[in-house]
Amino acid sequence: MYKTVRQAMSILQYFSVENTDIGRPAEKITLPSREEAGVSSTEYDNIVAEVEIVPNKRRRTAYHEPDKVKIAKYANTYGVASAIKFFQRDFPKLTESTVRPWLKKYRAGLQKSSSGALPVISTKRGRPLLLPDEIDQKLRMFINNTRKAGGTVNKHVVYGVLMGLIKSDLARYGRYLDFVITNGWLQSLYKRMNLTRRMVTTSRPVITQSTWLEVKAKFLHDIVSAVIEHKVPDELIINVDQTPSKYVPTENVTMAEKNSMHIPRKGGNDKRAITVTSAETLSGTILPFQLIYQGKTRRSLPAVKFPAGFSLSYNTKHWSNEVETIRLLNDIIAPYCTKVKKELGLPENQRTLLLWDAFKAQSTEKVIRELERLAIKQVMVPKNMTHLLQPLDLTTNASVKKMEKRAFSDYFTSTITEAMLQNPQRDVTTIEVDLKLSTLKPMHGKLMITVYDFLRKEQGKQIILSGWRAAGITEAIKKPRSTGVVPSLDPFA
């Protein structure tokens, strides 16, 4: 019997409950017929018996705004006790502790209201906002309009808009200049807007643990073998990588409605960018950049004075190719190697170890012949493993991307701030940011100089060194250098 009753109770969760008037205790549980329920007669009888003794759930009475105002108005004229008695039929659970706060807010509203309109009883629940309501509303309006236009919404954009709004009226909002956008505040903003962070998917293949360990061991073994065989110092162990640098940086994370299936991203296919080829050494040195612009003549290059050693070029697609690779070797790598060999007192035929991608343009016969001529031995970073094994990808490139986004955010902020200072009443969503190449290209060129100068400082050096450590190269070379023995790949050797 106990088992049958327990089964009967568990079946109750599938039956609907029909409520009568809100705030009243009466409930009616509608049961299907025995045939519809698909149970035996005994089980059905037990269900009916148990349903009859199920206690009614106590529900909280819902009072709507007009009802609160009506009750508070009556109480203001005739007293709280009289109001409870007068409205007892419509609201049988009404108590003095419920009415008194309404009456207090009603009287406060009457004192503030000069139009004679009924005051509002309800107030916002939850924690108060950290920013004024008007700034919060304008910020949310801008985010919604940006999303509708297909633009990316991220922390940098939010910060830029917020600072622009604050600086537009320093007399009122100047105390918020030091406002810090924390993750908790962003989550609160997303929640209030019913938005969530969404990542744009990629086609990167899945890498198993066994494959990863095997490929990494082989990669490090090739590096250690070359270093020990040719006695390559840290200064001549170089990692090279090409990365696109957009004039208008976009992210793979944006704001989208929760559970949305399609997440558009404006600018995702924007070809207004250049290719930056970076080179760094195991000793923590950053070499001058190779900047490849899109264009057919030298007029496509920005009118910016770059540091000595920078290599500027152009082609129709701003991509690296065989010609650009050879130019990189002769204009940046070779001069650096010659300088280091002279400083360290090494012979001219001293080998340099170059780590770079298994990129088609870097594997042609002309490139291989040029590497031999320059006494450079190459080790290819395994395909689909650059995000795990390439030092530049592990730390340096990420830092550069952050600086790019921050610089654009500052430009974005200054544009909004200037417009709001000229007209504080202007709708922030109507402000247009100048994105013409004639404006962005020289600004981007100066940014590349700033990035290069940063990476040459101590903080930049530590970022570079951490990339080599993260790839496992620093530790892999350390012991074999002291012993002169290259570890075997055979685990049973």
Rounded to 5°, the CA angle 314-318-321 comes to 90
Domains defined along the chain, listed by start: 2-52 (no CATH), 65-112 (no CATH), 209-250+269-483 (3.30.420.10)
CB 293 within 8 A of CB 231: no
CA 440 to chain CA centroid, nearest Å? 23
Query: Using CB atoms within 10 A of its CB, is residue 290 exposed (0-12), middle (13-18) or buried (19+)?
Result: buried
Compute how many other C-beta atoms are within 10 angstroms of the C-beta atom of residue 416: 23
Spatial distance between the Cα atoms of 235 and 226, rounded to a whole number of angstroms: 14
Residue 309's pLDDT is 94
- Gap between the terminal Cα atoms of the chain: 70
Q: pLDDT of the chain along its 493 residues, tens only?
A: 444 444 444 444 444 444 444 334 444 455 556 565 555 566 556 565 555 554 444 455 667 778 888 898 888 888 888 888 888 888 888 888 888 888 888 888 776 655 445 555 555 555 677 888 888 888 888 777 767 666 667 777 787 778 878 887 888 888 888 888 888 888 888 788 887 766 655 555 667 777 888 899 999 999 999 999 999 999 999 999 999 999 888 655 555 566 555 555 444 455 689 999 999 999 999 999 999 999 999 999 999 999 999 999 999 989 999 999 999 999 999 999 999 999 999 999 999 999 999 888 898 999 999 999 999 999 999 988 888 899 999 999 999 999 998 888 888 878 888 888 888 887 777 788 888 899 999 999 999 999 999 999 999 999 999 999 999 999 999 989 988 888 887 655 5
Which residue, among 489, 440, 408, 461, has the nearest Cα to 213 in the 3D structure?
489
Q: What backbone torsions phi and psi does residue 315 show, to the nearest 5 degrees? A: -155, 175
CA distances from 222 to 199, 239, 378 (A): 36, 14, 10
Residue 204's pLDDT is 58
Provide the token pair at 8. Answer: 């009967």
Single-letter amino acid code for the residue at 476: A
Q: What is the largest CA-CA distance in the chain?
A: 105
Residue 335's pLDDT is 96
Compute how many other C-beta atoms are within 10 angstroms of the C-beta atom of residue 70: 16
Which residue, among 267, 22, 260, has the nearest Cα to 153 in the 3D structure?
267
Within 8 A by CB and 6+ apart from 438, the residues are none
Provide the token pair at 252. Answer: 């793979």
Residue 15's pLDDT is 41
